[in-house]
Amino acid sequence: MEIRVEQGDITQQDSDLIIVNLFEGVTSPGGATGAVDAALDGAISQVIADGGCRGKANEMMLIHTLGKLPAPRVLVAGMGKQEEFDVDKVRALAANAARYARRQRCERVATITHGAGIAGLDSHDCAQAIAEGTLMGLYTFNRHKTPNDDDVEVQELIVTEYDAARIDALERGVARGTVLGEAANFARDLANEPGNVVTPTELAARAQTMAGAAGLECEVFDRPWMEEQSMGSLLSVANGSAQPPKFIVLRYKGGGSSHLALVGKGITFDTGGISIKPAAGMQEMKGDMSGGAAVIAAMRAIATLKPEIDVTAVVPATENMPGGRATKPGDVVTAMNGKSIEVINTDAEGRLILADGLSYVQSAIDGGPTAMVDVATLTGAISIALGDVAMGAMTNDAQLYGRLRAAASAAGEKVWELPMFEEYKEQIKSDVADMKNVGGRNAGSITAAFFLKEFVDDVPWVHIDMAGVDFYEKVKGVSVKGASGIPVRTLVHLAFMLANEPLAG
């Protein structure tokens, strides 16, 4: 769809629907909502007085204009309490309103800039949030379904602003928000595809196609190269699958003094291997490459928005299958950095492929990265700890985590730090190797992070465990059913923060 900014009067927009807003408790609307109310001879005020519209968050009220405006319908979107309203709520409002417009079979929609009026929020940030919310809120994954001729999609959103002095900021905000929203949806597309479609080979092909369009450098390596690199940890996972593993490397050269390394888990389907998972719900394991998808999609946005920083991303990609050559519990494998691993549970495979990904990216960057983030659907334990609300993060550097937390806040994605007390490391000690790949039920997410830390040198590093937020069953705000697209926007914001160029107005 197209999102654009237009200077003018919202009451004069000739679209299928115009969207205005209302704070909770307001009885006499002002600003653009007041102008629409006046043009409708007080219809909005009358509905408020009758109790039909209270302005509560997520409340939607539709009014037919009956020829009094060029647009046949007006949607009044509730903003909730003014003191609680922020940019993240702008995203949610835009997403909810866009879905409402689709249900009303509207193709051309005009909206005012939610939050930039009486709420006093920055115009650029509000426009960016509107673009993100609209694109992410309207996302559907139906490419494997027979098209329904009755379906109508929103084709155009016109952000309408009366004040000409705000137009430039709004246009910049919409442009950035469009890039971020489309990147999140690109990650969703990858993670929603079934495992027989997005194999390691296909994931690599889509990364290459994206890189070619975005102007990124891309290399894809095969098994013989992995063997030359002594990636025994990654190959131990790949051994059970008939699908060949791939090692994807993406490079963005933006200059500056910082070099960010991103490592994403790319398990395109996870049966658990010999330590096989229960059948119930296993179909969701097509999304076990959501971390890799997020890293690839973030590179797409970074290449478009061009922060002054170098970024290298790697995605080790394979299936985890219980084939005749599969790694067995009790086997010992050796990672690229020479450390040996006793494989206690083959379903703890994500950390095995990340071990070689982390080792490689540090050795492949001249002078090493200045910061490193890995992203993975790593443990079920993180869902027990944080539910489906926040990503878990573990780190060896408080300053880098602080920037990541700020980046997540700017993106409207939540993250929470778990401790890295040295005592937890005891749980991954092995009697027969340098370490084992699981540390038991207690503190499972933290012991997984300690395993990864064995493959991190002295680089500032954050591990993101996104297993609780990768898929959603319900529609709410920018979240839709299926893959979430988290933490694409957080990673992009982090790149800009490390380049000292915050993605704000």
Residue among 277, 339, 403, 453 flagged as catalytic: 277
Q: Is residue 172 part of a domain?
A: no
Whether 171 is in a domain gets the answer no
Residues 185 and 157 in one domain: no
If one counts the domains in the chain, the total is: 2
What pLDDT was estimated at residue 504?
A: 61
Same-domain pairing of 141 and 190: no
Sites in the chain below the pLDDT cut of 70: 504-505
Is residue 133 a part of any domain in this protein? Answer: yes
Q: How far apart are CA 267 and CA 445, in angstroms?
A: 18
Pair (155, 192) in one structural domain: no
Cα-based distances in Å from 263 to 371, 437, 500: 11, 19, 22
pLDDT digits (tens, 9 = 90+) for 124-167: 999 999 999 999 999 999 999 998 888 899 999 999 999 999 99
> Which residues span the domain enclosing 91?
2-162
Integer Cα distance of 55 and 77 in angstroms: 7
Tokens (6 digits) for 310: 């170098």
Both 229 and 346 in a single domain? yes
- Give the pLDDT confidence score for residue 505 in this predicted structure: 53
Same-domain check for residues 326 and 451: yes
Domain end position, chosen among 162, 191, 225 = 162
Residue 503 inside a domain? The answer is no
> Is position 351 annotated as part of the catalytic site?
yes
Domain holding 104: CATH number? 3.40.220.10
Alpha carbon 125 to chain centroid, angstroms: 18
Are 265 and 291 a contacting pair, CB within 8 Å? yes
CATH code for the domain in which residue 320 is found: 3.40.630.10
Phi-psi region of 358 (alpha: psi -120 to 50; beta: other; left: phi over 0): alpha
Looking at the structure, tell me whether residues 147 and 204 fall in a common domain: no
Domain end among 162, 197, 226: 162
For residue 458, CA distances in Å to 193, 247, 358, 396 come to 37, 24, 12, 9
One DSSP character per residue, 174-238 reads HHHHHHHHHHHHHHHHHHHS-TTTS-HHHHHHHHHHHHHHHT-EEEEE-HHHHHHTT-HHHHHHH
Check whether residue 131 and residue 213 sit in a common domain.
no
Do 115 and 501 contact (CB within 8 A), yes or no? no
Tell me if 345 is assigned to some domain: yes
pTM of the model: 0.97
* DSSP bridge partners of 461: 372
Write down the pLDDT at residue 502: 72
Q: Among positive and negative, which fits the CA dihedral 379, 381, 384, 385?
A: negative
- 153 and 240 within one domain: no
Can you tell me the distance from the alpha carbon of 164 to that of 29, in angstroms, rounded to the nearest whole number? 22
Give a yes or no: residue 176 inside a domain: no
The catalytic position among 91, 166, 265, 351 is 351
Query: Does residue 66 belong to any structural domain of this protein?
Result: yes
Same domain? 148 vs 190? no
Residue 454 belongs to some domain of the structure: yes
Residue 134 dihedral angles phi and psi, to the nearest 5°: -65, -50
Out of 162, 192, 208, a domain closes at 162
Clarify whether residues 48 and 189 are in a common domain: no
Residues 198, 100, single domain; the answer is: no
Annotated catalytic residue 54: no
- Same domain, yes or no: 249 and 378: yes
